[in-house]
Amino acid sequence: MPASPPAAVSPSRERRVWPSSAHILLAAAFTLLYLFGLGSAGFLGPDEPRYASIGREMARSGDWVTPRLNGSPWFEKPPLLYWTTAAANRLGLRDEWAARLPVALISLAFLAFFYRRLHREFSPSVALSATAILAGSAGWLVASFAAVPDLPMSAALASAILIALFDSRARTGWLAGALLGLAILAKGFVPLALFAPVWFVARGKRLPIIAGAVIVAAPWYLLCLYRNGSVFWNDFFWRQHVSRLLSAEALQHGQPFWYYVPILLVGLFPWTPFAALLVRRKLYKDLRLRFLSLWILAAFAFFSIVPNKLPFYVLPLLPALAIVLGAALEKTRAVEWPLAASILIMTLLPSIARGLPEALLSGATKAHWTWQLSGLIAGAFAAVVWLLARLGFKRQAILASAILVVLGGGYLKLTALPLLDGRDSVRAFWTAHQAEAANICIDSTSVSRSAQYGLNYYAGRELPDCAHAPALELHIRGGPEGLLLERR
């Protein structure tokens, strides 16, 4: 179809979208994958137990304005994730399910919207390919499991961008603005910078976008500022925004400029070979794809320049990248090679399942990755996908590849989550020793930050530091083999 003017990168097609039975089957498979195993591993890392604690405390206190950790105000992030966790707690869910299920449901709802929007704007094949690429990518799948705000922010931001770009009706600017407001409530003001290029081309929608974002996001910011004064603004804005942009030392997340190149390629796994399709010049004759590609490059440069870097920071790039890759796959004749290559690298899944717990504890470069012979099964599936595409069954080959990715994701959850629960989460350790909780303190000099937040969550309170609690007889200390409970 001809490229449309920048005012709205392309008009929406006013036709009903009825997915085929095969697409419905694929959607059901991804739904099961996303919901499976949400409670199979206890909270991981420092962020999950900390955010879950704040959400649980919000549900118990009834104060939905000021986030609190262990009774003290905590202004590191806006409240959207805390609200979803608190709401789940109020509905009777507990612990990992209360924190993770809302994130998984937000992801599934976005993927349904993503498919529907692309089906109308591009074609059924682009919608299928792009949605399968996004839903099956390691980065999006992992973020949809973790109880952190990156996925809700990325889903809300991508929805706002898609509506602003691909819906010609001026009144939809209010909806795009409301979704942008949700992104701001999820992770602060960074979504404003990422949305800026879209705002400049969304002629006729600018005022509604601004109004929608202000109506949704401003009330919490103003109310929290009113209740907490400059303490809120100094921490939330100056420390969490300005300091992150200017100094790596402030938050100790400094990484080199090229850090996100391997992160983005790993985040696409197992679709990483599709990146080779981006070099085709004909792809960018489509104004829509050209704009999305330039937006990806601008956002990538922005995150690369900022000294503080974490893997999930580039998650907002994945929806736009999936669209470009889905369109590239549609325009590629010899799809058998990228499809087969994507299935072939899934031979690494058994090795990943065994090495992931150590990688989370020590870092990917320090973990011991060992080849597992069982991974060769993926080689046989890769040959089947290659043959299907070679014989001209392109759609069937894409569907088969997506189903295989779902099965691979299910295998990874079945094998890796129990290992993560035993090695990286403190849930099992605390369950074994909670009967002695009243007499336990933490040796903060040897216990990691992640373990401290996890122990505090499962204890339901902040465990005292042994240095300030000499009367307590039992202390938790860290060691090469994990946490140990010893008598002082």
- Domain end, chosen from 372, 396, 425, is at 425
What is the domain count for the chain? 3
Q: Residue 69 in 3-state DSSP?
A: strand
Query: In terms of domains, do 358 and 318 share one?
Result: no
Domain-embedded: residue 13: no
What is the average pLDDT score of the chain?
Answer: 90
Query: In terms of domains, do 41 and 82 share one?
Result: yes
Q: 73 — phi, psi (to 5°)?
A: -55, 140
Q: Please tell me what DSSP assigns to residue 236.
A: I
Query: In terms of domains, do 326 and 337 share one?
Result: no
Query: In terms of domains, do 176 and 297 share one?
Result: yes
* 484, containing H or E segment: strand 482-487
pLDDT at 480 over 60: yes
> At what angle are helices 449-459 and 47-61 packed, to 10 degrees?
30
**Least confident window among 7-21, 139-153, 335-349:** 7-21
The single residue listed with the structure tokens 């080959």 is 397
Q: What pLDDT is recorded for position 255?
A: 81
Domain-embedded: residue 36: yes
* Rounded-to-integer distance, Cα 212 and Cα 268, Å: 32
**Least confident window among 172-186, 229-243, 282-296, 356-370:** 356-370
pLDDT at 10 over 70: no
Task: Count the alpha carbons within 13 Å of 75 in the hemisphere toward its beta carbon.
Answer: 21
Q: What pLDDT is recorded for position 252?
A: 56
Q: Please tell me what DSSP assigns to residue 276.
A: G
Task: Count the alpha carbons within 13 Å of 104 in the hemisphere toward its beta carbon.
Answer: 20
Query: In terms of domains, do 419 and 441 share one?
Result: no
pLDDT at 353 over 90: no
Q: What pLDDT is recorded for position 373?
A: 74
Query: In terms of domains, do 449 and 471 share one?
Result: yes
Query: In terms of domains, do 316 and 418 share one?
Result: no
For residue 139, how far is the Cα from the chain centroid? Answer: 6
Query: In terms of domains, do 232 and 320 share one?
Result: yes
Query: In terms of domains, do 407 and 303 share one?
Result: no
Q: What pLDDT is recorded for position 359?
A: 76
In b/e form, how buried is each residue of 367-395, taking b as 16+ CB within 10 angstroms? beeeebeebeebeebbeebbebbeeeebb
Q: Which are the contacts of 462, defined by CB distance < 8 A and separation ≥ 6?
A: 70, 456
Count CB neighbours of 123 within 10 A.
Answer: 15
Which class for 362: exposed (0-12), middle (13-18), buried (19 or more C-beta within 10 A)? exposed
* Rounded-to-integer distance, Cα 154 and Cα 137, Å: 14
Alpha helices in 363-433 (DSSP H): 377-390, 394-423, 427-433
Q: What pLDDT is recorded for position 9?
A: 46
Whether 132 and 402 have beta carbons less than 8 Å apart is answered as yes
Whether 422 and 445 have beta carbons less than 8 Å apart is answered as no
Query: In terms of domains, do 260 and 372 share one?
Result: no
- Domain end, chosen from 306, 332, 358, is at 332
* Rounded-to-integer distance, Cα 302 and Cα 304, Å: 5
Tell me the average pLDDT across 440-467: 94
Query: In terms of domains, do 201 and 299 share one?
Result: yes
Q: What pLDDT is recorded for position 372?
A: 74
- Domain end, chosen from 270, 297, 332, is at 332
Q: What pLDDT is recorded for position 6?
A: 43
Per-residue confidence band for 431, with pLDDT thresholds at 50, 70 and 90: very high
* Rounded-to-integer distance, Cα 169 and Cα 179, Å: 16
Q: What pLDDT is recorded for position 251?
A: 53
Domain-embedded: residue 9: no
160-183 pLDDT per residue, tens: 999 999 987 878 999 999 999 999
* Residue 85 amino acid letter: T
Per-residue confidence band for 238, with pLDDT thresholds at 50, 70 and 90: confident
Whether 76 and 240 have beta carbons less than 8 Å apart is answered as yes
138-158 pLDDT per residue, tens: 999 999 999 999 999 999 999
Domain-embedded: residue 433: yes
The single residue listed with the structure tokens 């992160």 is 263
86-117 pLDDT per residue, tens: 999 999 999 999 999 999 999 999 999 999 99
> At what angle are helices 138-145 and 260-267 packed, to 10 degrees?
80
Q: What pLDDT is recorded for position 370?
A: 77
Domain-embedded: residue 7: no
Query: In terms of domains, do 454 and 344 share one?
Result: no
Domain-embedded: residue 85: yes
* 442, containing H or E segment: strand 440-442
Q: Residue 34 in 3-state DSSP?
A: helix
Domain-embedded: residue 5: no
Domain-embedded: residue 122: yes
pLDDT at 365 over 80: no
Q: What pLDDT is recorded for position 152?
A: 98
Domain extent for 410: 333-425
Q: What pTM was estimated for this model as a whole? A: 0.93
Long-range CB contacts (within 8 A, 24+) of 297-305: 298/197, 299/194, 300/260, 300/264, 302/193, 302/194, 303/260, 304/257, 304/258, 304/259, 304/260, 305/257
